[in-house]
Structure 1
Amino acid sequence: MGFFTRRDEGLPLADQFEQQVLVMDGSMRDALAAQGLPPSESPELVNVDRPEIIADIHRAYVDAGAGIIRTNTFAASAPALARFGAESRMREINAAAVKAARIAGARHIYGAIGPTGLSIAPYGPIPFDEAYRVFRDQIEALADAGIEGIIVENMVDLQEARVAILAALETAAKPVACTFAFGDGGRMPVSETDPLGAAVTIAGMGVSHLGPGQGVDPVHVAQLLELMGRASAVPLICLVDAGREDVLLSQLDACVEAGAGIVGTSGGAVALTRTIAERVTGKVPPRRRRSRATLLCSRKRLVPIHPDAGTVMIGERINAANSPRLAEFLRGGDLTVAVEEAKQQVAAGAHVLDINVSIDEVDEAKMLAETIGAVQAEVEVPLSINTASPRSLDRALRVYCGKALVNFVSAKDGSLARMLPVVKKYGAAVIGLTLDEQGIPATVFDKVDLAKLMLDACEDAGIAPNDLVMDCIVIGAAENQEQVREALDAVRQVSKKMELNTTLRIASVSHGMPNRFVLNRAFLAMGLAAGLDSAIVDPLEPGMAETFAASDVLLGRDKGAAAFKQRFG
């Protein structure tokens, strides 16, 4: 049976994604096992030892209606092949796999990339760049042989998934899909990342599809796809275990309705692929709406910035420009104080930590990446990366595990043109400062105009509106009390009329005043009442955490006062 019509076969793959649900093949490993390959032997070596067997299996899937064929290269990276003493044959094995798929008449060939087993920094001993080279080398071999797309498949560790996707996107100009394996607890087995956190991290990086792979009970797959779909409007892929074929088939329509644009299995026989192809022929994947929520995450924790969620406390104490003690330690290459500050802020209730290491006598790019690694190894909250340097930002976001927030992007000195491409490349969210060549706008109208300018710039850069958090900058009441009211009015306008999420650095309002703590707490409460969704504060400041908690109750952000009761009950 043929899945594609004659009209479909001539369309570019990207166009087909929008016009129909595509079917991916089943498991090569299972098919080889059925033909007698012992579990102790490498399926990938069959590419060169008996390529006709691989081609015959691919051909059976093509005839069954699979429009996308995965190469037999899931474990064909150098580290994976080293278990069989075949690492020196990596390029040969990958090239042979692509050739076998082509001989079989595959309509679209995707290079399959699986986990390497490497434990990558900051959570393991393998440097990021070393792991990157492993994936790059395999992807280069596949790309040189003529693949049309790449699937980063059944990833068990979030950082390894990020490294593989970056290598794929930077090495080959091809669509990249990614699937995740989930264990019994519903999390990735190594990084313990939940499905939404995995999707949030990967969605903004430029993948064409994302979704669940091994370890998902078919009865829950449609629900899981709907959950992962909350991360973004990126199309979904559904390649789950086929152990309960009747249940899987009963869920197909719901999977497509949830946004699955590619369907298949991580196992199963050719007959199952044929049935799947028959069931989805003529179906079109729906377009999904974006959420307003700005979703940030580390490898284990998700933090939403949204009017219906609790106010997000962004801790500001890891700022070398404002802390002589931190600056002294950083100049000596000592990250002890940064890690101490991180732990103390999280213990005080911070949901996100802002990191700024921009000081004299320090290589900011190097120090920022090292500080992020040290902090992420010790605390689980997402981070805000505070830098005006695109070079430093690129290096920091490259090693950050999760989806970060980027601070200090404005309409001044070409900041938008320099910084937004880096934000987009790594799928981060960004704080937009209402600041341009004329300085901080004095009126609400000028602040809102700058917010609109920054929104347009983000959309032009491919950054979704929900990934822009506006900071309508407040200046000190000692300098200009009227502008305090203007900043609060701007927050109302940006939140209600532009439907953007907002933040402010609270301590700016009390600069030059006595008894700053009292002013800061009062201004925080006023900001939250005006529609502030997050605030940059010192979590250790007396009464600050309590003001967050109490305001969330009174403004209805803390549903049923559950968080307040848990903290103070």
Structure 2
Amino acid sequence: MDLKAKLGQQIIIFDGAMGTVLQQRGLKAGDIPEKLNLEEKNEIIDIHKSYLKAGAEIITANTFGANSLKLADTGYTAAELITAGIKNAQQAREEINRDALVALDLGPLGELLEPMGSLKFDEAYQLYKEQLIAGKKAGADLVIIETIADLYEARAAVLAVKENSDLPIFCTLTFEEDGRTFTGGSIEAMVAVLEGLGVDALGLNCSLGPTKLEPLVTKILRQTELPVILQANAGLPVVEAGQTVFKITPTEYLQPLLRLYQQGLAVIGGCCGTTPEFIKLIAAEMKQQKVKTRQITSRSIVCSPSQVVNLAGVNVVGERINPTGKEQFKQELRNGSFDYLLTTAAVQVEAGAAILDLNLGLPDIDEKAVMLKSILELQSILDVPLQIDSSQPEVIAAALRYYNGIAIVNSVNGEAEVMQAVLPAVKKYGAAVIGLTMDENGIPATAEGRFAIAKRIIETAAEYGIKREKIIIDCLTLTASAQQAGVKETLKALKMVKNDLGVKTTLGVSNVSFGLPERSLLNRNFLTMALFQGLNLPIIDPNDQEMMLNIKAAAVLNNQDQGASKYIEFMTAQQNKQANSNQQPAKLEIEQQNLKTAIIKGLKQQSANLTGDLLKQYDALTIVNQYLIPALDIVGERYDQGKIFLPQLVQSAETVKAAFTVLKTQLAKQGTADISKGKIVMATVKGDVHDIGKNIVKTVLENYGYQVIDLGRNVGSTEIVKAVLESKVKLLGLSALMTTTVKNMEQAIAAVKQAAPECKIMVGGAVLTADYAELIAADFYARDARAAVEIARQVLPD
């Protein structure tokens, strides 16, 4: 099959699940399926053949979990299992359909990347690179990156493939019914990032059945020109007669796919629970059919994994992360401290900044190293997109590589040398870029001169494959004190660029008032004038509430804020703030708010410092119960409401850990007893090496004051029972990700209930539901870390 010619033109049929069929054929629960590439190669080849006979045009090699992280202590290397997996698929192809293609399958690595986890981006990249090289050498025709819940991990995998091969890349993430990944990623961000990185097809797999994924796929189909792939589960599994079964039939599975086909779905297959019978029915209905055309909405966006900013409107770019004139910030950057940076960033976002400009230009620091660390720190507490502001091309390229999302580059100008140095990285990582209307001759005095440079920048960017939707033009704000006539030329150029070139615009607003009294007055008036000429991204200090009010008012008068709803909402919030500020809170309340705010915002050093101050007045238990736990409860409520996502939840928990460290150090000096609220044993069951969820639950529980005894992953029933008895715990937490290991969870529950009937058991994991938990006799189903805390409170009351 000529994949390049067919992709996006005719429907392509993938195969279905490997694990489900292996289980049907008697795979021992908990076995690592990839080992069977060598141990039971004929069985694997026969499964591939069954899918080819059913009509699959691409078969997926049995390499999903074959990475060095998961295979540690198994006696196998990733390279040998991947090589065998590819060769098995190729042999099946030779026997059944030589036109079929073999896909190297890359699944999640099994550990969370920084900042949520401990796995570094470069480590993830190297693990995927190792898999890719083995698969390429073995003769894979393409790569399918699938079942990814963290957009950062998908980024590492895509880059590893693109930089070490020319193989086509399909990438699918796994989403919940609410349109978010496990880590809080959004559909819009996934599409933007994967498009920007240059994958060949994107979409969804696993998690849910096709009916529940249908609205999410519909959304994707409207947002990308790329071919869209869907490989859904046959619903969520249940236990019947001691066996894991999927209830959706092939006919039921097909119906939503037929509807999505009419909307433009291009690649179709199956995930957990699907078998050759599913693929046979899909192929009979859709194989060789032409892909339907669809209407795509052109968008100019930047994003973090969980938050997308549409550049078509008016969005404030916070300007305060800049060392110019800030001695404290300069000193902290030199010392490797990020307290000032994080606090300044959080305050700007709270004040209304939709994007943060990140400028760390100091001559006496390693700007690249500090930039990368700053990005990691900022993305651990905030979800707004960043604007990378540097004059060093190598700093920009590094920042774009490690930024989790679509960033703005600030900036290039009309000099050919500058564009040549920066635009390749902009294209490679799918970033947006600001073009300054100046060149080697300086800033043109006239609007026409600046317009000509803007046009040149856009044309040059096009030569690199950068679309207009990614370009933002800065017509450059001149100071009214020195170049008064130039202010009008800036506004004139802004209007020309907006109307004639059709790109987005930005201005550093406060430059206009430099050297004059009452700067804020001049800034506000210039801002309003620029907004009516088409300014999209004013770079201002969002803490200047008068400036923010001008933006809200201009949106009403410019007919952008329909019904003045955002204006009314903003004004109401301001009035409430004013009313609260006029009240005089008690001393304890002020202290509580200070520490609570630090925890909610994820400011670890500030939290530790405030805790140390409070220890001079209060005992440790008072601080835990009146300060730390109430703050975590607020974070948990925001998480439940979808106002924050997993990275922020984890960071707040880590912030409480910093406070606990201070408390425990002080208690040790005083010889005081520990402040634990009780012990909890946790384990990932036998045969399962995926413990991301367990580790997150552990972190959050510990920071609510519980002592967690973590047995790790791949833990047998005997070891679990022994830990429960030795620790005399009242609560046990078990996790499992794979359908093949839920049976082991059921066995562990039975063993614990027999040995320690007084111990309550909570279970969680991607394949579990409340009904499933009840079927395997668990006492509680922990949907997420927040639910686990409530269960702990119930079983281990204060």
- 1:30-61, CA deviations, whole angstroms, 9 ceiling, x for partnerless residues? 11111111331111111110111111111111
Map 1:34-183 onto structure 2 (within 5 A).
34-82=24-72, 85-86=73-74, 88-105=76-93, 107-183=100-176
Q: 1:250: how far off?
A: 2.2
| TM-score normalised according to structure 1 size | 0.93
Contact 2:7/2:266 (<8 A) preserved: yes
Residues 188-210 of structure 1 deviation map (CA, whole Å, 9 limit, x = unaligned): 11x21121222222220011111
Task: Give the structure 1 partner of residue 705 of structure 2.
Answer: none
1:158-182 Cα offsets, whole Å, 9 max, x none, are 2111111111111221111111111
Give the drift of 1:289: 6.0
2:516 equivalent in structure 1: 513
Question: What is the CA-CA distance between 1:290 and the residue it aligns to?
Answer: 5.7
Map residues 297-312 of structure 1 onto 2, 5 A cutoff: 297-306=303-312, 309=313, 311-312=314-315
Q: Distance in 2 between matches of 1:422 and 1:550?
A: 38
Post-superposition offset of 1:248: 3.7
Whether 2:327 is the aligned partner of 1:324: answer yes
Of 277-286 and 414-423, deviating more is 277-286
Match of 2:605 in 1: none
Inter-partner Cα distance in structure 2 for 1:204 and 1:260: 20
Higher relative contact order (CA 8 A, sep 6+): 1
Are positions 1:314 and 2:317 aligned together? yes
Q: How far apart are 1:288 and its partner, in Å?
A: 5.5
Stretch deviating more after TM superposition (239-248 or 428-437) = 239-248
> In the alignment, is the contact (CA less than 8 A) between 1:98 and 1:145 conserved in 2?
yes
Question: How far apart, in 2, do the equivalents of 1:323 and 1:202 lie?
Answer: 38
User: Could you list the per-position Cα deviations for residues 507-562 of structure 1 after superposition, in whole angstroms to 9, with x for gaps in the alignment?
Assistant: 12222222111111111111111111221111122412212222222222223323
Aligned to 1:398: 401
Partner of residue 266, structure 1: 271
Mapped to 2, the partners of 1:322 and 1:457 lie a distance apart of 35
Residue number among 273, 281, 290 corresponding to 2:287 in the alignment = 281
Aligned to 1:498: 501
Matches within 5 A, 1:437-448: 437-448=440-451
Q: Does the alignment pair 1:29 with 2:19?
A: yes
Q: Is the 8 A contact 1:180 1:213 kept in 2?
A: yes
Partner of 2:10: 20
CA shift in 2, pair 1:321/1:175, >3 Å: farther
2:177–2:213 contact (8 Å) kept in structure 1: no
Cα offsets for 1:439-461 (capped at 9, x unmatched): 12222222222222122222221
Kindly indicate whether the alpha-carbon contact (under 8 Å) linking 2:397 and 2:422 is maintained by their aligned counterparts in 1.
Answer: no
Residue deviations 1:115-174, cap 9 Å, x none?
Answer: 112121122222221121111111111111111111110101121111111111112211
TM-score by length of 2: 0.67
The code of the aligned residue for 2:126 comes to R
CA distance in 1, matches of 2:253, 2:499: 43
Residue pair 2:208, 2:234 contacting (<8 A) in 1 also: no
1:84-105: CA deviation from partner (whole Å, max 9, x where unpaired)? x326421110000000110011
Aligned partners of 1:333, 1:422: CA distance in 2, in Å?
Answer: 27
1:214 aligned to which of 182, 206, 210: 206
1:203 corresponds in structure 2 to: 195
* CA deviation vs aligned residue, 1:335-368 (integer Å, no higher than 9, x gap): 1111111011011100000001111111111111
Over 3 Å counting, the alpha-carbon distance change for 1:563 and 1:117 in structure 2 is farther
Quote the Cα distance in structure 1 between the aligned partners of 2:355 and 2:228: 28
Q: CA deviation at 1:423?
A: 1.1
CA distance in 1, matches of 2:444, 2:262: 46
1:11-40 Cα offsets, whole Å, 9 max, x none, are 3x2222143121111111111111111331
* Deviation at residue 231 of structure 1 after TM alignment: 4.3
- For residue 234 of structure 1, report the CA deviation from its aligned partner: 2.3
CA deviation vs aligned residue, 1:230-285 (integer Å, no higher than 9, x gap): 54422211111233444442233442344432111213111211221222233333
User: Which residue, 245, 253, 260 being the options, matches 1:255?
Assistant: 260
| Contact 1:192–1:299 (CA under 8 A) maintained in structure 2 | yes
Summarize the alignment of residues 382-421 of structure 1 with structure 2, pairs less than 5 Å apart. 382-412=385-415, 414-421=417-424
Determine if contact 1:451/1:494 at 8 Å carries over to the other structure: yes
Aligned residues: 553
Distance, in Å, in 1 between the alignment partners of 2:264 and 2:421 is 34
Provide structure 1 residue ranges, at least 5 long, that are not aligned to the other structure: 1-8
Structure 2, unmatched stretches of 5+, are 236-247, 573-798
Measure, in 2, the Cα distance between the counterparts of 1:217 and 1:486. 58
Bigger drift between 543-552 and 21-30 goes to 543-552
Q: Which amino acid aligns with 2:44?
A: I
CA drift of 1:481 comes to: 2.8
Other structure's SS at 1:312 match = coil
Alignment of 1:418-567 (within 5 A): 418-567=421-570
48-57 vs 441-450, which moves further? 441-450
Judge conservation of contact 2:338–2:374 (CA < 8 Å) in 1: yes
Q: Pick closer, same or farther for the CA change 1:313–1:101 going to 2, 3 Å.
A: same
Q: 283-292 or 21-30: which moved more?
A: 283-292
Q: State the structure with more CA Rg.
A: 2
Go from structure 1 to structure 2 and tell me whether the alpha carbon gap of 1:56 and 1:185 turns closer, same or farther (over 3 Å shift).
same
Residue 6 of structure 1: aligned partner: none
Opposite residue 362 of structure 2, the aligned amino acid is I
* AA matched with 1:301: Q
- Preserved CA contact (<8 Å) 1:203 1:231: no
SS of match in other structure, 1:319: coil
Change (3 A) 1:14 1:49: same
Q: Distance in 2 between matches of 1:438 and 1:354?
A: 26
Q: Does the 8 Å contact 1:25/1:61 carry over to 2?
A: yes
Instruction: Evaluate the alpha carbon distance shift between residue 87 and residue 372 of structure 1 in structure 2; reply closer, same or farther with a 3 A threshold.
Output: farther
Counterpart contact for 2:177–2:212, Cα < 8 Å: no
C-alpha RMSD over aligned residues: 1.9
Query: Distance in 2 between the 1:555 and 1:362 partners?
Result: 44
Preserved CA contact (<8 Å) 1:238 1:255: no
Summarize deviations over 1:405-462 as a string: whole Å, max 9, x none.
1111112261111111111111111112112111122222222222221222222212
